[in-house]
Amino acid sequence: MAGLAGFGALESTYLAVQKLTGGEVACPVGGCQTALNSGYAELFGIPLSAFGAVAYGLVAALAWWGAGMQDELVKQGDDGRDKDLESSYGKARVLLFFGATGLAGVSSYLLFVLAFKLGGVECLYCLTSAALSLTLFGVGFAGLSSRESANAFPPAIALYVVTVLTMSIVLTESPDAKNTQGLKLAYAPAQLEQTSTAYSRALAKHLAETGAKMYGAFWCSHCIEQKETFGAGAQIPYVECFPDGWERGTPVATACDAAKVEGFPTWVINGKKLEGEQTLEKLAELSGFQGQNDAASMVAEMF
């Protein structure tokens, strides 16, 4: 169990660091950024993954402590066992089960959020964390004696229910869920500050000619930042997903729905979908653009 919880702590720490630094997580399937950038991914302004890292870390430490006591009891044998140590080991097993129950409760509610609040987006990290916590719950329960399980199961069920209810209350009041009630946004095109370069204009033209598309929303800050990397004047093959404005419940444009866009911005290049902002170099590589970037052009002119 220490290994499973330790892995959960590492995963949660990675997500927390990326969230705090504004980085993009590596995600082999779509939907990770949508889930991790939503208001449900924060609690009191702190990444939920940071709380998860602490919780997994505590469970890992408890499991490690229990494993140490178990090894010592095995060495002592059945006849010479230290009764105090045996009692402490039993308490550690029960505490470990309660810790795993709390994690399972949190994961259960987050699975509900993924399925119903965020429209069923696919988030590999979220599903992995849920699988870890539910596995820890099962292993923790299996590790109890018959007497321990009979005594611990009723309060564990109560803890599970309280955890789920608490999460439903505190995460319902997340920024996204609270601040968008009744909010209406009229469509307004982005006003870019950066000026495009010969390279960015040529790349944008190449992307358009090869059928690439950038799907975004006018209110999306990451979409605006992506456009800024090209600069004003570059004809990006951009598809606006809310051309008539936005309010809660507004469906995305037909083109965005057909492309199964789950987060903004989303690039589709040669049939490959990428979520989040991309560098010009990455876009050039994926689209097969052979032009020299501005730095290379300057060096070439010098020599």
182 pLDDT band (50/70/90 cuts)? low
Three-state DSSP class for residue 247? strand
**Domain range 2-178, its CATH number among 1.10.580.10, 1.10.10.10, 1.10.260.40, 1.20.1440.130:** 1.20.1440.130
End-to-end CA distance of the chain: 61
pLDDT score, position 183: 62
Q: Read off the pLDDT of each residue in 186-191 and give the average, rounded to a whole number.
A: 89
User: Is there a common fold for 2-178 and 198-302?
Assistant: no
Beta partners for residue 46, in sequence order: 43
pLDDT score, position 172: 62
pLDDT score, position 33: 67
| R_g over Cα of the chain | 25
* Gap between the Cα atoms of 299 and 302, Å rounded: 5
Q: Read off the pLDDT of each residue in 96-105 and give the average, rounded to a whole number.
A: 92
Q: Read off the pLDDT of each residue in 75-80 and give the average, rounded to a whole number.
A: 72
pLDDT score, position 176: 44
Residue boundaries of the structural domains of the chain: 2-178, 198-302
207 CB neighbour count, 10 Å cutoff = 25
pLDDT score, position 65: 84
Three-state DSSP class for residue 279? coil
The two structure tokens encoding residue 201: 């204009």
So what CATH class is 198-302? Answer: alpha beta
Phi and psi at residue 239, to the nearest 5° = -120, 115
Q: Cα dist. 49→36, 40, 75 in Å?
A: 9, 11, 39
Residue pair 103/137 in contact by the 8 Å Cβ criterion: yes
Name the nearest CA neighbour of 205 among 145, 139, 289: 289
- Whether the pLDDT of residue 157 is over 80: the answer is yes
β pairing state of 213-216 and 272-275:
unpaired
Mean pLDDT over all residues of the chain? 84
* Gap between the Cα atoms of 210 and 204, Å rounded: 10
* Gap between the Cα atoms of 86 and 180, Å rounded: 54
pLDDT digits (tens, 9 = 90+) for 6-65: 998 999 998 888 878 766 677 765 567 667 767 778 888 788 899 999 999 999 998 888
pLDDT score, position 198: 94
pTM here? Answer: 0.59
